[in-house]
Each structure stands twice: as structure tokens, then as C-alpha cells.
Structure 1
Amino acid sequence: MRCFVGVPVTGSLARECKELSLGLPRATPRPNLHLTLAFLGQCTPAGVARLSGELQSLAGRFPAFELDFDCCEAFPAEQGPFLALTTTVSGPLNTLHEALWECLSRQGVEREQRAFRPHITLAKPGLALVPQTGHWLLSVDQLCLYQSEMIQGEVPTYRPLSQHPLTGMV
């Protein structure tokens, strides 16, 4: 099964994301909204079980924090093909991201070569859109291990396999 680690987008930010993508073709379904922290590729059920335990331990070391997305723009470049909320890597996010990859490396997961660019995909509109600035806050309060499944043609469905609240102290 194809897996990744991310942070789910819920509450008021999920509502705002749906408003930003309203009327756009191929908008991301609300349950699929997330911030990807690490793509894992193919995982076995035994690997998922081991990784879930590691993620639980890792999440217990980090306190929850807010992440401010300040732009809604074409991603990964000016021509898209996606519309996404974007931000720069902040101190708490960078620390969590690096610790996650240390954990994953110990589990034999090979680190992605491309640079980490935090984003939340809103749609794949297939047309150029004017960038917007603003403040969209994501509560980074849990790590989620997701399975990515292609259920209806080209639209992936992301199913949470395990969720791990960030419970560390500041």
C-alpha cells in the first residue's frame, strides 16, 4: 500500500480551503485536505504497524503549534498544475520535519530528494489563477499515517491508518 505521513486539515481551515476552491474543477475533497510531511511509497502491513509505534513515540516529544499559510497560489510553480496554500518552513515545522525523517530513516525509509515545500493542495484547476495573500492557520496537533488509494479513476482517497496527537510540553 502507498503511504505518507501528514497533518490533517480540519475545522475552520478546512472550511476556508473549500471556499477558496469553490467552483474550481478537481477540487480536493474535504476529507483529503492535509499537509504532507513525508511520502513513504509502498509499505507492508508489518511496516505500517512498526511505523505507527514510532510515530506515537515521536508525537509524544513535540508540542502542538500553529502554522501560518500566507499565500494561495499555483504550485509547485507559476504554471501549477495545482492551487495550494503555501508557506515557508518555520522553526517548529522544520524541527518536527527533521525529527520525522530521522525516525523514518531508522525504519529504512529513503528520504525524498526534493526540498520540503509546505503546502495544502486545494485543487487541480487546469487554469491560471491570480495568487492571493492572507493568513490561514493550520493547527499542527497530530501526525497521521495515511494510505493513498486510487478509487475512482484519477482521484486519490487518503485513508488514515493511525493518528498520533502531539503531546510534548513546551
Structure 2
Amino acid sequence: MRCFVGVPVTGPLARECKELALGLPRATPRPNLHMTLAFLGQCTPAGVGRLSAELRSLADRFAAFDLTFDRCEPFPAEQGPFLALTATCSEALSALHEGLWECLGRQGIDREQRAFRPHITLAKPGLALATQTGAWQLTVDQLCLYQSELIQGEVPTYRPLSQHPLAG
């Protein structure tokens, strides 16, 4: 199964995300809204169990924190193909991200080569859109191990396999 680790987007921010994507083609369904921390690729059921234990241990070491997304823009470059909220990586998020990759490394998962750019994908509109500025707040209060289910011609579904509240 294809898996990734992320932070779910809920509450007021989820509503704001849906408003920003209103009327756009291929808007991200509300249950799928998240900020990806690490894409893992294919995982076995046994691997998921080990990863969940690592994530539980990691979550116990970190306190919840807020992250401000200050731009709604084409992502990953000016031409898209996505529309996303983007943020500068805060010190707290950077520490959590580094801790996550230490845990993943212990499980034999190689670190992604691309630079980490905090974002929440709002839509895959296939057209150029203007950048907006603002202050959208995400409370980073849990880690979630997701399964990504891809069905040909349909929107992917992201199913939580395990959730770990930040408790530090």
C-alpha cells in the first residue's frame, strides 16, 4: 500500500481551504486536506505497524504548535499544476520534520531528495491562477500515517491508518 505521513487539516482552516478552492476544477475533497511531511511509497502491513510505533514515540516528544500559511499560489512552480497554501518552515516544524526522518531512517526508508516545502494542496485546476496573500493558521497537533488509494480516473482517497497526538 502507498503511504505518507502528514498533518490533517481540520476545523476553521479546512473551511477556509474549501472557500479558496470553490469553483475550481479538481478541488481537494475536505477529508483529503493535509500537509505532507514525508512520502513513504509502498509499505507492507508489518511495516505500517513498525512505523506507527515510531510515530507514537516521536509524537510524545513534541508539543503542538501553530504554523501560518501566508500565500495561496500555484505550486510547486509558477505554472502549477496545483493551487496550494504555502508556508515558510518554522523552527518547530523543521525540528518535527527532522525527527520524523530520523524515525523513518531507522525503518530503512530513504530520505526524499527534494527540499521540504510546507504546503496544503487545494486543487489541481490545470490553469494559471493569481497568487493571494493572507494568514491561514494550521495547528500542528498530530501526526497521521495515511494510505493513498488511487483508482484510475478518480480522485485519490487518503485513509488514516494511525493518528498520533503531539504530547510533548
User: Under a length normalisation based on structure 2, what TM-score does the superposition of the two structures give?
Assistant: 0.99
* Match in the other structure for 2:146: 146
Structure 2: distance between partners of 1:70 and 1:18:
16
Structure 1 residue 78, shift from structure 2 partner = 0.3
Residue identity over aligned pairs, in percent, reads 83
Structure 2: distance between partners of 1:4 and 1:98:
15
* Match in the other structure for 2:25: 25
* Match in the other structure for 1:7: 7
Amino acid in structure 2 at the alignment position of 1:102: E
Structure 1: distance between partners of 2:82 and 2:8:
18
Amino acid in structure 2 at the alignment position of 1:124: K
After TM superposition, which residue ranges in structure 1, 4 or more long, deviate above 4 angstroms?
A: none
Unpaired runs of at least 5, structure 1: none
Structure 2: distance between partners of 1:33 and 1:126:
19
Structure 1 residue 151, shift from structure 2 partner = 3.2
Count matched residues.
Answer: 168
| Equivalent residues in 2 for 1:14-163, closer than 5 Å | 14-151=14-151, 153-163=153-163
Q: Secondary structure at the match of 1:55?
A: helix
Amino acid in structure 2 at the alignment position of 1:109: I
Structure 1 residue 153, shift from structure 2 partner = 1.8
Q: Secondary structure at the match of 2:47?
A: helix
Deviation digits for residues 111-139 of structure 1 (CA, Å, limit 9, x no counterpart):
10000000000001111111000000001
Q: Secondary structure at the match of 2:156?
A: strand
Unpaired runs of at least 5, structure 2: none
Q: How well do the aligned residues superpose, as a CA RMSD in angstroms?
A: 0.7
Structure 2: distance between partners of 1:165 and 1:80:
32
